[in-house]
Amino acid sequence: MIEKSNKKNDALLFAIISSIVLFLSQYLLVFSLSIPILMTIKLGMYDKKETFIYLFLTGLFSSILDLSLTLIVLSPSLIFSLLIIFLIRRDIEDKTSLFILTSLTSIFILTLLGYIYSKGYIDFKIIVGELSKAFESEGVELDEIFIVNALRTIPAMCVILNLIYNFICLKLIRNYLNYRDDKIRDLISINRFRLEIKDIIILFIIFLLISTFAYFLGLDFEIIKLNALSVTMSLLQINGLLLLDYFSAKKSKLTRFINWVLIFFVFAILSDVFAVIGAIDVVFNIREKVRQYER
């Protein structure tokens, strides 16, 4: 009886905390990013009754503070949280979970970006002009084509940042729930993630479908191609970095820290090299060969 009462009090307390965090999210992005993590952790701990209390009170308090913010931020966060809970309870493979999360949330983000652009809230000509002036005022001469191409890859950057955010969410949530309940496993080590040939094939099919839709909608194919290349290169670079981290993990923590500091400084120069390393790992599965050798 006391435990049930404590859970109800906990649901009330965290409903208040979630509402405050939601209200603060209009001032700092970090609060917006923390809402899905907080909600998922609590939903993963509660039973049906506590879940109802938590969601009802969070929605009520948030609506009182700011109704529009509740609809814009809280609703997508709730859907995202329920999706993660579903993936965790089904114990779906980590890489598959990450793919599902990133795919669905990227569709939402890119649709939102497309809507904002179609309504004229973003004018790239004005942005390019302002950026050119800003660089010129600093004594830097930059071709406008370079700025235009950089802005065209905003969707790709959103996808990669979304991938990183989803991994952090999944890691933090699984870690905490595993700490509270041994039946829920922890997320595997990040350096165990690797791109496989089948992943590249899936990416190719996705880009092919997007290109087909773009053709019928009359969208610029060059933008699709540029973003497809950017996403693929970024994934290969990440794969290369994770492979290096896999090897450095076998050393002391100090050596590993120094390795990552050096990697951080040389990444901008050697990003293409990391992409090549990542591509080689996709084909030859170097991690598996090392594990077999160690046996």
237/234 Cα distance (integer angstroms): 5
Establish how many alpha carbons lie within 13 A of residue 47's alpha carbon, considering only the half-sphere containing its beta carbon: 7
> Quick one: pLDDT band at residue 194, thresholds 50, 70, 90?
confident
pLDDT in tens, 30-70: 888 888 888 888 888 878 888 888 888 888 888 888 888 78
Please state the pTM of the whole predicted model.
0.78
> Quick one: pLDDT band at residue 1, thresholds 50, 70, 90?
very low
Which residue is listed with tokens 């859970």? Answer: 7
Longest dimension (CA), the chain: 71
pLDDT in tens, 269-285: 455 555 555 555 555 56
pLDDT of residue 58: 85
Query: What percentage of the chain has pLDDT greater than the value 90?
Result: 0
pLDDT of residue 153 exceeding 60:
yes
* Highest averaged pLDDT of the listed ranges 123-137, 251-265, 267-281: 123-137
Range in 141-145, 196-200, 263-267 with the lowest mean pLDDT: 263-267
Q: Is 122 left (phi over 0), alpha (psi -120 to 50) or beta?
A: beta
244/256 Cα distance (integer angstroms): 10
pLDDT of residue 150: 75
Q: Which comes out higher in pLDDT, residue 178 or 251?
A: 178
Q: Which comes out higher in pLDDT, residue 147 or 103?
A: 103
pLDDT of residue 181 exceeding 60:
yes
272/148 Cα distance (integer angstroms): 21
pLDDT of residue 249: 64
Q: Which comes out higher in pLDDT, residue 229 or 134?
A: 229
Q: How many residues in the chain?
A: 295
Query: What percentage of the chain has pLDDT greater than the value 70?
Result: 75
Q: Where are the domains of the chain?
A: 1-90, 93-188
Q: Mean pLDDT over all residues of the chain? A: 77
pLDDT of residue 2: 37
What is the average pLDDT across 94-116? 85
pLDDT of residue 91: 85
